[in-house]
Structure 1
Amino acid sequence: MLTLSAAQVDGALSFPGLVDALETAFREGAVQPVRHHHGVERAQGADSTLLLMPAWTDFKAPNALAEGFIGVKIVTVSPDNNAIGKPAVVGVYLLLNGITGEPLALIDGPRLTQWRTACASALAARYLARKDASKLLMIGAGAQASFLVRAHAAVRTIQEVRIWNRTHANAEKLAGELRAEGFSVEATQDLDSALGWADIVSAATISATPLVRGDLLKPGTHVDLVGGFTPLLREADDATITRARIFVDTHAGATKEAGDIVQPLEAGIIHKGDVLADLHELTRGEKQGRESDAEITLFKSVGAALEDLAAGIMVYKVLAATS
């Protein structure tokens, strides 16, 4: 069994390649049981959470491969870790042979998640962003932000990037890192102006208060919401939701876990029929993505086990061939 580090994941993947792999995965489908949540009670301090995200090749599908794979992401969330200088969220991805069940690889979970999350957003932008979109606003400067900038640049010709973050020094730091890679990028403290400037707005924060204001968005903008992964978190306001044509990674996940969708549904601002398509429907051509250059589109992702499986398979195949 291979044990693969974050650096090895980086070496095995490319943004264009993984976007294509995710497109194929959503088109062909996989078996994705409901995500398992288990509370781990502590006698002292905050309780932890154990998350299990399994998926496997759909062997009953008409185009199913004879081999196939099984995968499960194992994640723990331990809030008290921050006090001892460790990340609160850690995990691994276990990839198995789909026929024998034998372990094939144990892959760095956080890095695999960063890649697949960014490339899922880029896949959505392939269907939803204007073809000539060239100005990207990145809201948030955390670990996911640089991956989102690179992924969007893999599907659209991004000529200018602006980064906004509550702590401006972190935005400046990320801007410097991306400039070193050849991006034309600046950190901004004027979020309102940047919202009206951008062709693509990507947000990866844990904000409970909306940061994306729909009244400031220009016609033709594509909004990519990544960070709000619980019903209590919200990155875009009601004006954004009502102005936009809405798309999600999966209907089941977004309508139960994403505050940007759940809260407007509960308030009656939108209805389930206003969520026009998910990535399965877009990649299969069952639903239409962007219909005009003037419309505002919105994509909300919460993550899907299928994405981890596709990324894990890609990493394994590349590195197994060279080991």
Structure 2
Amino acid sequence: MKRSELAVFDAEDVRALLDYPSCIAVVREAMKALSLGETRQLLRTMIHMGEGRTFAQMPGALSDRGMFGAKMISVFAEPDNPGVRRHRGIVTLFEPVEGRPVCVADAEEITHIRTAAATAVATDALAREDARVLLLMGTGGQVHSHLEALPLVRPFERILIWGREPAKAREVVEAWRDRLPVEAALDAQAAAGEADVICTLTGARQPILFGAWVQPGTHVNVVGSSGPGPVEVDNALVLASRFVADSKASALDAAAEFLVAKAAGVVGDHHIVAEIGEVLLGRIPGRRNAEEITAYKSLGHAVQDLASAAHIYETHQNRNG
């Protein structure tokens, strides 16, 4: 590649260069680095442009002398289906010696893969070793990426798919039945009571998962809401769980479920016991016993996107000289 060239990776390129095992490893190291203070990132900024229309920017640097850049995305509701939101945009990457832009990559595909990879990292760190039943709540794009990622960290024997529209849950099952032990769940409460690991992956405005449904020893990944407003789980579940965030600063600013529970006086800031990076580093224990309910709040961070884009760029460079 000539020095003047800018590598551009579309969605197909991202899928070819960022496999799930690699992304899990990349995100694991990125979250450790975040908690060590080695990375730099600002809280995401959002420009709201009317109902269902948001432009977000997420700048960061992998280290003082590492790759740096930003993710810029539009989060727009689908015109014919306001309950479905697409994350379209780009991740831009600069090299750290001369400050040249070297990479532009499709942000929607990176977001799909790295979000599920982050969930897998948290599940590996916080779920019981003997977890065998997985419940995925949601039928959008993230259910498919999570079906790729989560079986890489636990040997699930049953995977339950629940959606607010049962027909869509059945479509997910049909798409995956030849690869994984998937089955449709019609009753969310009953499915939650059977699950060892639960992931909420929806754009729900109100809770779809309640603390009263969740059994001791369950691990919950709260993924769908990425800003103040929409909540996927109720205050009782927040209170009952050992609550771990991807970033404390971001959770205090934008973790909707935590902020609602805090505003109600149910929990305080100390209820966020750790960042996932601190758990991975062994600084703070994650799960302390087999009966504890653990929860991981995923907001997603620039360093995850930048580390993923850096992996894509470096893999491409290595393959092409």
TM-score of the two chains, using structure 2 as the length reference: 0.91
Superposition misfits of 4+ residues, deviation over 4 angstroms: 45-48, 83-88
Cα deviation, 1:52-90, whole Å, max 9, x if unaligned, reads 11111322xxxxxx6x211211112345x6259997531
Choose which of 159, 168, 177 in structure 2 pairs with 1:179.
177
In the alignment, which residue of structure 2 is the partner of 1:259?
A: 256
Residue 224 of structure 1 deviates from its aligned partner by 0.6
Choose which of 262, 272, 275 in structure 2 pairs with 1:275.
272
1:15 correspondence with 2:20:
yes
Q: Name the CA distance, whole Å, in 1 between partners of 2:51 and 2:235.
A: 33
Query: Which sits farther off after the overlay, 69-78 or 291-300?
Result: 69-78
Residue 151 of structure 1 deviates from its aligned partner by 1.5
Amino acid aligned to 1:143: G
| Gaps in structure 1 of 5+ consecutive residues | 60-65
Q: Name the CA distance, whole Å, in 2 between partners of 1:175 and 1:196.
A: 20
Q: Name the CA distance, whole Å, in 2 between partners of 1:84 and 1:142.
A: 12
Q: Is the contact made by 2:40 and 2:61 (CA closer than 8 Å) also made in structure 1?
A: yes
Amino acid aligned to 2:247: T
Query: Which sits farther off after the overlay, 30-39 or 112-121?
Result: 30-39
Residue 159 of structure 1 deviates from its aligned partner by 1.7
Q: Quickly say closer, same or farther: Cα 1:175–1:308, change in 2 above 3 A.
A: same
In the alignment, which residue of structure 1 is the partner of 2:105?
A: 107
Q: Name the CA distance, whole Å, in 1 between partners of 2:87 and 2:249.
A: 23
Name the SS of the counterpart of 1:233 in structure 2: coil
1:6 correspondence with 2:11:
yes
In the alignment, which residue of structure 2 is the partner of 1:90?
A: 88
In the alignment, which residue of structure 2 is the partner of 1:28?
A: 33
In the alignment, which residue of structure 2 is the partner of 1:317?
A: 314
Name the SS of the counterpart of 2:300 in structure 1: coil
TM-score of the two chains, using structure 1 as the length reference: 0.90
Residue 234 of structure 1 deviates from its aligned partner by 1.1
Q: Quickly say closer, same or farther: Cα 1:71–1:318, change in 2 above 3 A.
A: same
Q: Quickly say closer, same or farther: Cα 1:294–1:83, change in 2 above 3 A.
A: closer
Residue 227 of structure 1 deviates from its aligned partner by 0.6
| Gaps in structure 2 of 5+ consecutive residues | 1-5
Q: Is the contact made by 2:87 and 2:107 (CA closer than 8 Å) also made in structure 1?
A: no
Cα deviation, 1:38-65, whole Å, max 9, x if unaligned, reads 345xxxx868432211111322xxxxxx
Q: Name the CA distance, whole Å, in 1 between partners of 2:51 and 2:292.
A: 45
* Count of matched residue pairs: 310
Q: Quickly say closer, same or farther: Cα 1:16–1:84, change in 2 above 3 A.
A: closer
Choose which of 131, 138, 156 in structure 2 pairs with 1:158.
156
Q: Name the CA distance, whole Å, in 2 between partners of 1:310 and 1:46.
A: 32
Q: Name the CA distance, whole Å, in 1 between partners of 2:306 and 2:28.
A: 13
Amino acid aligned to 1:267: A
Residue 15 of structure 1 deviates from its aligned partner by 2.0
Q: Name the CA distance, whole Å, in 2 between partners of 1:107 and 1:306.
A: 14
| Identical residues among aligned pairs (%) | 29
Q: Name the CA distance, whole Å, in 2 between partners of 1:265 and 1:141.
A: 29
Amino acid aligned to 1:200: V
Q: Is the contact made by 1:57 and 1:98 (CA closer than 8 Å) also made in structure 2?
A: no
Cα deviation, 1:201-226, whole Å, max 9, x if unaligned, reads 00111112211121122211101110
Q: Is the contact made by 1:50 and 1:77 (CA closer than 8 Å) also made in structure 2?
A: yes
In the alignment, which residue of structure 1 is the partner of 2:138?
A: 140
Residue 238 of structure 1 deviates from its aligned partner by 2.1
Residue 99 of structure 1 deviates from its aligned partner by 1.9
Q: Quickly say closer, same or farther: Cα 1:192–1:46, change in 2 above 3 A.
A: closer
1:229 correspondence with 2:244:
no
Q: Name the CA distance, whole Å, in 2 between partners of 1:137 and 1:270.
A: 26
Q: Name the CA distance, whole Å, in 2 between partners of 1:232 and 1:97.
A: 36
Q: Name the CA distance, whole Å, in 1 between partners of 2:53 and 2:133.
A: 40
Mapping for residues 233-244 of structure 1, pairs under 5 Å: 233-244=230-241
Residue 128 of structure 1 deviates from its aligned partner by 0.6
Q: Name the CA distance, whole Å, in 1 between partners of 2:148 and 2:11.
A: 17
Residue 301 of structure 1 deviates from its aligned partner by 0.9
Cα deviation, 1:233-257, whole Å, max 9, x if unaligned, reads 1111122122211111111111221
Mapping for residues 58-137 of structure 1, pairs under 5 Å: 58-59=63-64, 68-79=66-77, 82=79, 88-137=86-135
Q: Name the CA distance, whole Å, in 2 between partners of 1:165 and 1:320.
A: 41
Residue 268 of structure 1 deviates from its aligned partner by 0.9
Name the SS of the counterpart of 1:144 in structure 2: helix
